[in-house]
Amino acid sequence: MNPIKKINSNRPFSVSFYLFVVIIFSWPFQFIYVLGGEAFKPLLLLSMIMVSVGTFISGKYIFRDGFKNAGWTWGKPKHYGYAFILSLFLWLFPSILEQQLGIYHPPQLVNVGEILKAFLFNFVITIIPAFGEEFGWRGYLLPRLFHKYSERKALLLHGLITWVWHLPYLVILAIRIEDNLLFTIPIVLIISIIPTVMHAVVFAFIWDQSKSLAVATFYHSAFDEVRDSLENSVGFGILGQYWQSLILVILGSLILLKVRFIPQANYYENTN
């Protein structure tokens, strides 16, 4: 990526204030879904889009530090291929494996054509919401964290912030379990934090290596819709449910230990 040119800003970038702005614009839609149920599920996609709205307002009007180094390239075809293969490995591979091993049997006949059709339809719908998050977390937030903190701390903090943003949805998952909520909600939050943070690290790696928000967005949409298409048709057994968390924790940990990202000075420069 090319370095961001020095710019003048009236307000230094603040992680907490940025997150506050994003939450103000996006969380109301998540809470409506919490209160309204599945009929309001499209509002989850809208909440993802609103991340980009809060980000645009932050970069344009609050911190005035712009979006020059967010990753405005298309990337290379191989990057899209690798991203899609990873999505299939995380969801389709364990689904096929557990069926072949007899660990799980689908409740209905598998219709590959219908699954593919559902995937393509929902993939297109999810592209814009996925961009909303990638623009915010990777394109805007992460470069500023790289400028302020060490590489690993920046990666982990940006992952923690994405976990915080998902809290309303995680609470929904806990409520759906229909158990003792005083016990279930803390358990869901605890077991979700490490995979979520490590997945954010994987997202950051894809964004950094491809130099492209487009590739990161493609992976985001592919990950969500391979999962949803299989879950809504074939379903998952125990392996399919936990495989992706295990692999993402391993991949994220390896990236933290082995991969060097672009030097911090090349990401973001502010003259405050």
- The 10s digit of each residue's pLDDT in 197-247 is 999 999 999 999 999 999 999 999 999 999 999 999 999 999 999 999 999
Of 122-136, 173-187, 250-264, which has the strongest mean pLDDT?
Answer: 122-136
pLDDT band at 269 (very low <50, low <70, confident <90, very high): low
Can you spell out the DSSP letters for 185-241?
Answer: HHHHHHHHHHHHHHHHHHHHHHHHHHT-HHHHHHHHHHHHHHHHHHHTTT---HHHH
Task: Give the pLDDT confidence score for residue 180 in this predicted structure.
Answer: 59
User: Tokens at residue 221, please?
Assistant: 């949409």
pTM for this one? 0.91
Q: What is the mean pLDDT of the chain?
A: 90
Among 9-13, 41-45, 52-56, 194-198, the range scoring the smallest mean pLDDT is 9-13
Helix runs in the chain, H state only: 15-36, 42-57, 77-100, 112-134, 142-148, 151-165, 167-176, 181-210, 213-231, 238-258
Provide the residue ranges of all domains of the chain, joining segments of one domain with +: 15-266
Residues 6+ apart with CB under 8 A from 13: 63, 65, 144, 148, 270
pLDDT band at 107 (very low <50, low <70, confident <90, very high): confident
Task: Count the Cβ atoms, other than its own, within 10 Å of residue 233.
Answer: 19
Contact criterion met (CB below 8 Å) for 137 and 18: no
